[in-house]
Amino acid sequence: MECIFCKIIVGEIPAKLIYDRNEVIAFDDINPQAPTHLLIVPKKHFENAGEIAESDAEILAEMFRVAKELAKGRGLSGYRTVFNTGAEAGQSVFHAHLHLIGGRAFGWPPG
């Protein structure tokens, strides 16, 4: 098993889990881009968000519900959720994950 997030899910690589229920876990990003930067990750391996949508769209909905719950728990009045898909878009880990970023103001368009 080469996937780094699969290894986190089975406990082979340590991560501080913020959330672990049903089909989804969340943990702090190792390289945070904002005061809150969490990764919301399906326990089942999918390469990207499109694959989740094609195979089990309810997991995608659960990931966004978890984002809402965690943002609320941290008192964030606004937050950004991002799926990078493909290396050109900045995806570096090919196990789908939703970035939940907040706690500072963000610009648009994104870099």
Per CB under 6 A, the list member of 4, 6, 19, 53 interacting with ligand DGP is 4
Interaction of residue 91 with ligand DGP, rule CB under 6 A? yes
Q: Which of 37, 95, 97, 99 is catalytic?
A: 97
Interaction of residue 86 with ligand DGP, rule CB under 6 A? no
DSSP H or E run through 4: helix 4-9
Per CB under 6 A, the list member of 77, 88, 92, 105 interacting with ligand DGP is 92
Q: How far is the CB of 99 from ligand DGP (least distance, A)?
A: 6
The CA distance from 6 to 109, in Å, is 32
Strand-pairing partners, residue 40, are: 26, 98
Per CB under 6 A, the list member of 23, 44, 74, 84 interacting with ligand DGP is 84
Specify whether 99 is catalytic: no
Nearest residue to 56 (alpha-carbon basis) of 28, 22, 17: 22
Q: Order across the sheet with 79-82: list the strands.
A: 17-21, 24-28, 36-42, 98-102, 79-82
Residues 16-35 that bind ligand DGP (CB under 6 A): 27-31
